[in-house]
């Protein structure tokens, strides 16, 4: 116990301040929470049809997902590989073509850009375009080299 303010020893280890003035407010709030919790828990018994329906629906949708995954996994894998290749290839071609076709006075939405900024944009577009084309080439090589492994996996 401390001499500065009154405390209570809790669990033979901790000293907590005595708050007799606030004890009623705290117990009232805890009582309200307990009452609300009991009221909410009692409504579970009347909600059993909704809970059972949710369980059955999630169970059946889970099995439907597994069935569709088994049935269309190869198609989904091939579509994602083709889409990834096309995305990287088209983006790379677009970035490279836009980096080489710069005008003498580059603009951004009708406003003239500060000097040198157009050059930096062209370099960045060229770099990103090259990276995208290299990624598409790497994806294509990976698919060709590991075609058998991909076929076995799916």
Tens of pLDDT along 68-115?
888 998 888 888 899 999 999 999 999 999 887 655 455 556 666 556
C-alpha distances out from residue 31 to 19, 36, 41, 87, Å: 18, 9, 15, 60
pTM (predicted TM-score): 0.49
pLDDT at 102: 53
Task: Return the structure tokens found at 12.
Answer: 């033979």
pLDDT at 47: 82
Q: Where are the domains of the chain?
A: 1-42, 54-153
2 falls in which pLDDT band (50, 70, 90)? very low
* pLDDT at 10 exceeding the cut of 50: yes
User: Tokens 């020893």 belong to which residue?
Assistant: 9
Any idea of the CA torsion for 39, 41, 42, 44, to the nearest 10 degrees? 130
């Amino acid at each position: 116990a401390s001499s500065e303010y009154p405390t209570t020893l809790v669990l033979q280890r901790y000293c907590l301040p005595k708050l007799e003035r606030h004890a009623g407010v705290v117990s009232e709030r805890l009582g309200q929470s307990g009452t609300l919790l009991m009221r909410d828990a009692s409504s579970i018994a009347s909600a059993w049809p909704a809970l059972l329906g949710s369980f059955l629906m999630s169970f059946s949708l889970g099995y439907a997902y597994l069935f569709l995954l088994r049935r269309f996994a190869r198609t989904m894998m091939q579509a994602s590989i083709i889409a990834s290749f096309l995305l990287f290839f088209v983006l790379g071609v677009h970035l490279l073509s836009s980096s080489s076709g710069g005008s003498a006075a580059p603009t951004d939405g009708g406003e003239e850009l500060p000097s040198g900024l157009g050059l930096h944009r062209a370099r960045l577009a060229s770099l990103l375009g090259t990276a995208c084309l290299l990624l598409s080439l790497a994806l294509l090589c990976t698919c060709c080299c590991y075609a058998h492994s991909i076929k076995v996996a799916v």
